[in-house]
Chains A and B, each alone.
Chain A
Amino acid sequence: MEFQEDLVPKYWYNIIPDLPKPLPPPRDPPDSEFSRIELLKRIMPKEVLRQQFTVERFVSIPEKVREAYINIGRPTPLLRARRLEEMLRTPARIYFKFEGATPTGSHKINTAIPQAYFSMEEGVNHLVTETGAGQWGTAVALASRMYGLESSIFMVRVSYEQKPQRRTIMQLYGAKVYSSPTSLTEYGKKLTSQNPDHPGSLGIAMSEAIEYAMTNGYKYLVGSVLDVVVLHQSVIGLETINQLRNLDEEPDVLIGCVGGGSNFGGFVFPFIGAQKGTKYIAVGSFEVPKFSRGTYNYDFPDSAGLLPLIKMITLGKDYVPPPIYSGGLRYHGAAPSLSMLIKEGIVKWREYNEREIFEAAQTFLQAQGIVPAPESSHAIKAVIDEAREARVKNEKKVIVFNLSGHGLLDLPNYESMMKRMS
C-alpha cells in the first residue's frame, strides 16, 4: 500500500540539462568595478548558491527537508474540479494542484524551507528578505521559525498599510516586519529624505533587504526567478505526476500563472522533462505585459541593480507596474529557463486583464468553494478558455493547473474589485 507521504519526491528536478539551448549564464555588467556575482557569495546561503550553479538533472532533497515538507502537509492535494466542468459543460477533465493548502497559503514555502534549512546548517542565525503582497514574506517568516532563526522582512509600504493581516501573520511567526523604505539602510534613508511619504516598491524593498543582509552579515533569501528557486518548486510538479499516475490520467494541457516564474516552472517543468503533456500555458497579467511587450535581454533582477544580469523576458528593471490587485504578478521579468522555453515556442503564453481575472475567480469559487489567490486566478482564466474550446471541439482532454495560493488574505482586493465591477 502506498502512503500519502510516498508521493513526495526524494529529488528535485532541474530542467537546464533538458532545455533546447544553453541557458545564458548570469553576468556582471561590462564596466563595473564591483562584481555582483561575488556579491551573491556574500549574501546567499552557500548551499543555495551551490545548487544554483551545480547543474544536475536530479538533486537529492535532504531527508530533513522532505520531513518538513510532509510536516506542512505535503503532498498538497490534487483535486478534480468536477463542478467547474459541469458549469462549463465541457467534456474536458479538469484537475488542480492546490498549493493554497500549505500553512502559509501558497507555494512559496516550498523554497523557503530548504533555504532556511541550509542557512541553519551553515550556522546563519538571521534571514532577510523583501515582500510585496506578503506571500513570500510569510513563507520566510514561518521557515525561519521552523529552524529557530530570526527573520527581518522588508514589506513594501503600501502593502504594509493595506495588508495588515499579512503583517500580523508574519509577526505571529516571530518575524520583524519593516515598512520599506525604512531608515535601516542607506538606500532607504536616501529615499525617505527625498520623500517622507514614499510608497515603496518591490525593487526598493529588495535592495533594502540585500543591503541590510550585507551590512549585518545576515543571509538573503530569494523568492522567485533564480533557477535554484524553480528547482525547489519542482516538488509541485513531481508530486502531481505521481498523483496523476495513481488516477491513471495522462495530462494534455498544463497551466500556471507567472510572476517571476517559480510556481509555473515548479509545476510544469517536471512534465516537460518527463515528456508528458502536449500544451503548456504560462499566464501573465495584461496590465504587466511582459510576454507581449517585453524583450528577451540581459537585465537586472532587482531595480537597484545589485544582483548580476540575467537573460530573461523583461519589461526593464525600471518598469513601474500599475497597482493591479494581483500583487505577485507585478514583477518586470521571468525566470531565464521559462523565458527561453517561451522564446522557443515550447511554452505558450496568455495575458488577461483584471476584469477577466475577477470573473474567472468568481466562477471558480462558486463552483469549487475555494477563494483563489488573484495571481492563481490568471491560470483559472486560461483553464476556462481551454475547457470551452474543448467543448466546441468536443475533446475529452485532461487539463491540469496549479492553484498557487488561496485568496483569503486578499479579500480587501476582492472587495475593491467588486466595487469597481458593479
Chain B
Amino acid sequence: MLVSYLTLGYPNREQFLTLLKGLVDAGSDVLEIGPPPKYAKYDGPVIRRSFKQVSSQGYDMWALLREARDAVSVPIVILTYLEEWIPTLEDFLIKLKDIGINGVLFPDLLIDFIDEYEEYVEAVRTHGLKSVIFTSPSVPDPLIQRASKLSDMFLYYGVRPTTGIAIPITVESLITRVRTLVENKLVVGFGLSDVEDMRRALKAGADGVAIGTAYIEEIERGGVKSAIALARKFRGVLDGS
C-alpha cells in the first residue's frame, strides 16, 4: 500500500492539485493531506518549510479540500493534530464528512490524549469517518496491540521521532518488534524517505509505506513533476521491481 502525504496547498494552489492527481496516477492507494497546523509538534524542518510557504499564501482551507476531494477518487485522510481541533471538534468532523473526506489521523492522539483516546476514536466514527491511529516506537506493546485492533484502514507506525530528519535507526528491528502485535495492515512512515529504508520496511513485514518529506524535498529540487516521478519509483518498489 502506498500512502502519499501532501501539505494542503503546497507548493501553490494550482500545483497542489496537479500533484494530487499525479500522485494518484502514479499509484498512491491513499492520500494523507495536512493543513498547516498552529504548532507542528512532530514535523521536521522540511514539512515545516512547506507549512510556512502555504501559510504565507493564505487559502481557504475548506474550499481547497473540497477541490482536492473532487479531483481524485482514492480515500483521503486528513493528518492534523487533535490538540488544535478540540474546541471545535464536532464542527470539524461534520465539515470533513460533508465534503467527502474519508478519515482522520491524529499523530498526537496516543501521546497527548492517552487517557481518553478511545472516546475520540468513537467520536470520529460516529461522524461517519475512519479513524486511523498513529503509533510509534515509544508506544508500549499492549497499547500497540489495542490500537491495531481499533484502527480503521490500517495502523500507522511512525518510525522516527520527527519527519524528515534521517536519525539513524534500524527499521527492521523496529518493525520486527511490533509486527507480531499488529493484526491490522501496518503502514510505516514518518521519516521513511529513501528506497533502501522502504525496502527494509517491507522486508521486515510492513504492508505499506507512507511518504511525505521525500516528495517535498523533490518538489524543492525539481518541482511537482519530479515528485510524481518519485511516487512512481516508490510504487515500483512496492510492486517488487
Contact = CB atoms under 8 A, between A and B. Distances in A.
Contacts of A25: 42, 111, 136, 138, 161-162
Contact of B44 (A20, A37, A55): A37
B110 A50 contact: no
Contacts of A412: none
B168 A22 contact: no
A16 interface: yes
Which of under 10, 10 to 19, 20 to 34, or 35 or more describes the interface residues of B? Answer: 20 to 34
Central interface residue in A17, A22, A41, A57, by most chain B CB within 10 Å: A22
Interface in A26-64: 26-28, 30, 35, 37-38, 40-41, 46-47, 49-50, 53-57
A55 B42 contact: no
A54 B44 contact: no
B167 A20 contact: no
Interface residues of A, number: 28
B174 A38 contact: no
B63 interface: no
- Dominant secondary structure of chain B at its interface with chain A: loop
A50 B137 CA distance: 12
A40 B160 CA distance: 13
Contacts of B58: none
B169 A50 contact: yes
B110 A22 contact: yes
A81 interface: no
Contacts of B137: 16, 53-55
A121 to B, nearest CB: 13
B170 interface: yes
A16 B167 contact: no
Given A25-B161, A41-B167, A46-B168, A57 B177 contact: yes
Contact of B169 (A17, A20, A22, A53): A53
A20 B165 CA distance: 28
A120 B138 CA distance: 29
A83 interface: no
B31 to A, nearest CB: 25
B25 interface: no
A20 B114 CA distance: 10
A57 B177 CA distance: 8
A411 interface: no
26 contacts: A16-B137, A16-B140, A18-B140, A21-B140, A22-B110, A22-B114, A22-B135, A22-B139, A22-B143, A24-B138, A25-B42, A27-B162, A28-B44, A30-B40, A35-B45, A35-B162, A37-B44, A37-B165, A38-B165, A41-B168, A49-B168, A50-B167, A50-B168, A50-B169, A50-B170, A56-B174
Given A22-B136, A25-B136, 11 more contacts: A18-B141, A20-B140, A22-B138, A23-B138, A25-B162, A35-B44, A35-B165, A37-B162, A37-B165, A40-B167, A53-B168
Interface of A: 16-28, 30, 35, 37-38, 40-41, 46-47, 49-50, 53-57
